[in-house]
């Protein structure tokens, strides 16, 4: 059963995009989908649609087989918390410290403000060199540190699906190894991933489906990269 299924979906144009007309898309466990498009605004609109952050012009959104009414935003909250959304329009809450931002999901769900980051997240913070800035607010950090904190926050949610918009820019080319490791972990856990990337290495190494968005149409194709391609 698909985790997310969009049927007869139409997205209005956003930014310089053309919108996407009347498409069908389903995302199952183990899918690693790379978006291929000339227009990143269309790709971003598609990712936001998967995250249920934009309303379609028309269409049906199903989460784990259940039809969802996107306008009943409170019914969507349990679905949203299962989606890790890592994109330039994702942000940290500015009046909370980095630690509070990373832990906010746990503060809420465990109803305890005394909890601290676990070992896995601590290791990630150390690797990405933000461990000593956990008590700073987002405005005191540089862009790369903020973006890395967003990645860590989304991972700490332990999401079932990951949506990434140009992760190589987001995590930083210097941290490419971290990104590769994260992808490996997600694939090992059979978590579906949808990502837009201009880094061919990432696409060829991990993607098993390609989402083509051209002139307002969306099609998906299964891909099998040959060794030739990988080299």
Q: Is 3 in the site for another protein (CB under 8 A)?
A: no
CB of 79 to another protein, least distance (A): 9
Q: Which is nearer to another protein, 100 or 214 (CB)?
A: 100
Q: Which of 8, 21, 94, 116 binds another protein (CB under 8 A)?
A: 94
Binders of another protein in range 104-143 (CB under 8 A): 104-105, 107-109, 111-113
CB of 73 to another protein, least distance (A): 7
Q: Which is nearer to another protein, 140 or 177 (CB)?
A: 140
Q: Is 176 in the site for another protein (CB under 8 A)?
A: no
Which stretch in 23-31, 80-88, 124-132, 204-212 sits in contact with another protein by CB under 8 A?
Answer: 80-88
- Candidates 19, 130, 147; CA nearest to 88 is 147
Q: Is 71 in the site for another protein (CB under 8 A)?
A: no
Q: Which of 8, 38, 91, 181 binds another protein (CB under 8 A)?
A: 91
- Candidates 162, 163, 155; CA nearest to 120 is 155
In contact, 106 and 156? CB cutoff 8 Å: yes
Binding footprint of another protein, residue count (CB under 8 A): 28
Q: Is 53 in the site for another protein (CB under 8 A)?
A: yes
Q: Which is nearer to another protein, 36 or 160 (CB)?
A: 160
Residues in contact with another protein by CB under 8 A are 51, 53, 73-74, 76-78, 80-83, 85, 89-95, 104-105, 107-109, 111-113, 157
């Amino acid at each position: 059963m698909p985790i997310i299924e969009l049927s007869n979906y139409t997205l209005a144009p956003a930014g310089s995009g053309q919108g996407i007309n009347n498409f069908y898309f389903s995302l199952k466990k183990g899918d690693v989908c790379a978006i291929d498009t000339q227009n990143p605004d269309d790709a971003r609109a598609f990712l936001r649609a998967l995250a249920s952050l934009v309303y379609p012009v028309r269409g049906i959104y199903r989460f784990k087989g259940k039809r969802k009414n996107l306008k009943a935003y409170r019914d969507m909250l349990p679905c949203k918390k299962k989606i890790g959304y890592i994109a330039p329009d994702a942000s940290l809450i500015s009046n909370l410290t980095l630690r509070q931002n990373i832990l906010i999901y746990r503060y809420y769900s465990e109803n305890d403000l005394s909890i601290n980051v676990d070992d896995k997240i601590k290791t990630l913070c150390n690797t990405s060199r933000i461990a000593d800035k956990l008590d700073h607010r987002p405005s005191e950090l540089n862009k790369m540190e903020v973006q890395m904190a967003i990645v860590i926050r989304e991972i700490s949610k332990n999401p079932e699906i990951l949506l990434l918009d140009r992760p190589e820019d987001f995590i930083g080319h210097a941290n490419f190894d971290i990104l590769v490791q994260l992808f490996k972990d997600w694939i090992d856990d059979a978590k579906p991933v949808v990502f837009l990337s201009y880094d061919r290495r990432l696409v060829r190494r991990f993607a098993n489906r390609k989402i083509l968005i051209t002139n307002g149409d969306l099609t998906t194709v299964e891909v099998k990269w040959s060794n030739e391609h990988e080299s």
